[in-house]
């Protein structure tokens, strides 16, 4: 059965990231890569990882259109499967990422899983979903630990893919996130912090398949 699990390898040591990715590559849909890993080895780590599995670059791109375009182009040329960008910069900046991405999948952040996002971002979620849809993103990032918000986003954007962080260490449930409308579940510490990453990914896959009625 196909996995709906994206593992966030939010580690600074690129060798450790590559080692874990090799172990879990047959168990996951993709791995998510942070800037912190690129700081260790450079953009070449994206190319290395892409030989092992799909790579979703969680770079949360947030700049003027010219800079966004340059970042997205460089990531696409490194064979990444996808890139995560912020949407609050507006249509011009978001469109620049989508246009430069080519065949690479663009996920826009419309809501986040940490408490602080409610200070400024939460009241604008509907607007961020609208601008993301208008710009033609492939997917959106929405919280897997806020099921009410996740359902709202799914209702507003029925045709896009939704990937959800906030599952596991931040209190969210993979099953409940899937039931609320997520397509992919993002888990980090529950896998890379495990003594047996393969067993952990398999256990989460079973949860997801159960929620989908596939177990």
Q: What is the per-residue pLDDT across 18-66, written as a single tens digit (0 to 9) for each? A: 999 999 999 999 999 999 999 988 999 999 999 999 999 999 999 999 9
Q: Give the relative orientation of helices 91-101 and 125-135 as an angle to the nearest 10 degrees.
A: 40
Catalytically active residues, by annotation: 60
| Bridging pattern class, strands 55-61 and 82-86 | parallel
Contact 151, 181 (CB under 8 A): yes
Range 126-154 average pLDDT: 93
Phi, psi of 159 (to 5 degrees): -105, 0
| pTM flag (> 0.85) | yes
In three state form, how does the secondary structure of 98-134 look? HHHHCCCEEEEECCCCCCCHHHHCHHHHHHHHHHHHH
Contacts of 162 (CB under 8 A, 6+ apart): 139, 140, 141, 142, 150, 153, 154, 181, 182, 183, 184
pLDDT digits (tens, 9 = 90+) for 78-131: 999 999 999 999 999 999 999 999 999 999 999 877 766 767 777 788 999 999
Residue 174 pLDDT > 90: no
Residue 173 pLDDT > 90: no
Amino acid 132: pLDDT: 97
Superfamily of domain 5-211: Aldolase class I (3.20.20.70)
Quick one: what percent of the chain has pLDDT higher than 90? 73
Token pair, residue 117, equals: 């996002």
Q: Where are the domains of the chain?
A: 5-211
**Averaged pLDDT of the chain:** 91
| Other Cβ atoms within 10 Å of 183 Cβ, number | 17
Contacts of 79 (CB under 8 A, 6+ apart): 46, 47, 50, 55
């Amino acid at each position: 059965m196909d996995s709906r699990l994206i593992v966030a390898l939010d580690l600074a040591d690129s060798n450790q990231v590559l080692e874990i990715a090799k172990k879990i590559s047959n168990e996951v849909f993709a791995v998510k890569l942070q800037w912190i890993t690129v700081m260790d080895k450079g953009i070449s780590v994206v190319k290395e990882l892409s030989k092992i599995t799909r790579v979703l670059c969680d770079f949360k791109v947030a700049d003027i259109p010219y800079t966004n375009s340059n970042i997205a182009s460089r990531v696409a040329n490194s064979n990444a499967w996808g890139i995560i960008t912020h949407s609050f910069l507006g249509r011009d900046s978001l469109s620049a990422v989508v246009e430069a991405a080519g065949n690479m999948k663009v996920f826009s952040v419309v809501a986040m899983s940490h408490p602080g996002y409610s200070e400024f971002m939460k009241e604008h979620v509907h607007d961020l979903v609208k601008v993301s849809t208008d710009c033609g993103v492939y997917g959106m990032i929405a919280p897997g630990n806020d099921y009410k918000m996740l359902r709202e986003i799914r209702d507003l954007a029925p045709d896009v893919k939704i990937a959800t962080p906030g599952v596991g260490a931040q209190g969210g449930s993979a099953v409940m996130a899937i039931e609320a409308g997520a397509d992919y579940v993002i888990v980090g510490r529950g896998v890379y912090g495990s003594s047996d990453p393969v067993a952990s990914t398999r256990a989460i896959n079973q949860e997801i398949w159960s929620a989908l009625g596939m177990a």
